[in-house]
Structure 1
Amino acid sequence: MTVVLRAARPLDAGATGEILWRYLRETGWMPNLYSGAQTIAFCGKMIDRGWVTVAEADGRIVGFLARDGQEICALYLNRAVWGKGIARLLLDDAKSQARALRLRSFEANARANRFYRRAGFVEVARCDGRDNAENLPDITYVWPKEAAR
């Protein structure tokens, strides 16, 4: 499978929104807060701001990363491509464009937390969920390790 990374275009909001919405629906511990249309609109806003890089395989969007400066706001993949190195490609691309990165991941998302630690991110804080819409405990990570100081 050949994967191409590119800047998202406005018409990519549907595909990125679908990836995010499916993840939210298929993850048992995530609260059901947003409709499919709201999720697509959210992705459209991130795309309009120039934050989104998409991963395409065989002409289809299979994942995306949204980054606002040093803050990674979203990294989601179609489940069919989990474990194929696409998240790493997106993250390495973000690393190549920033001196430091920061992100928050839900404590319950053990798979993502392992991925970020393996990718060199260091935990710097935990929150009980009062600072996010989902009210779920989260972990703040930074990269590189020196950024934690």
Structure 2
Amino acid sequence: MSTPHRARLWHVPHLARILWRFGRSAPWLPRVRSRRTDLAVMARITRRGWVQLIRDGRGPAAFIARDGALIHALYVNPRARRRGLGRSLLHDAKLGSARLELFVAEANRPARAFYAAEGFCEVARSNGARNDEKLPEIHMIWHSAPNPGSDPRSTVQ
């Protein structure tokens, strides 16, 4: 399996196609941005260095967009699902982090189950007023295991 590496601007059209394929496969997800806007946002976050991707024999197959501890997006191309690519991206993000957080649409049950299996815990729910799609969402947080001998009460629960 390929290892995650930093996305470059020439990857943006491929990454956007992964995003759009997910949108087509999720009937509960309204389309609220134009493709041009999606491309501009993807280019902006790629320039900032937030995007890591994994390639397979056919090109970019999965990506994660992360600013520090906040994961903004994690998508796997439908042709590459069930091969551990999303898990690899998430594990790579965990390596240098004491804590990660994300917001997942309440309607996205597979993603919620995936994050729970990866150790993320639900900490809050919202009505979606803060996201573009205005969909109810769940705030989830992952904490790395405390160091041996550290006080577990010192971490946010």
TM-score (norm 2): 0.89
Which residue of structure 1 aligns with residue 14 of structure 2? 15
In 2, Cα distance between equivalents of 1:148 and 1:82 = 33
> Where do 5+ consecutive residues of structure 2 fail to align?
145-151
Give structure 1 regions of 4+ aligned residues with deviation exceeding 2 angstroms.
Answer: 145-149
Sequence identity, in percent?
Answer: 36
1:45 maps to amino acid: R
Which residue of structure 2 aligns with residue 27 of structure 1? 26
> Where do 5+ consecutive residues of structure 1 fail to align?
none
Question: How many corresponding residue pairs?
Answer: 148
Which residue of structure 2 aligns with residue 112 of structure 1? 111
1:8 maps to amino acid: A
Shift of 1:3: 2.0
Q: Give the CA RMSD over aligned residues.
A: 1.4
Which residue of structure 1 aligns with residue 86 of structure 2? 87
Shift of 1:148: 4.2
In 1, Cα distance between equivalents of 2:25 and 2:87 = 22
Shift of 1:36: 2.2
TM-score (norm 1): 0.93
In 2, Cα distance between equivalents of 1:15 and 1:148 = 37
Greater radius of gyration (CA)? 2
Shift of 1:129: 1.0
Shift of 1:18: 1.1
Which residue of structure 2 aligns with residue 71 of structure 1? 70
In 2, Cα distance between equivalents of 1:38 and 1:19 = 15
Cα distance change of structure 1 residues 148 and 114 upon mapping to structure 2, 3 Å threshold: farther
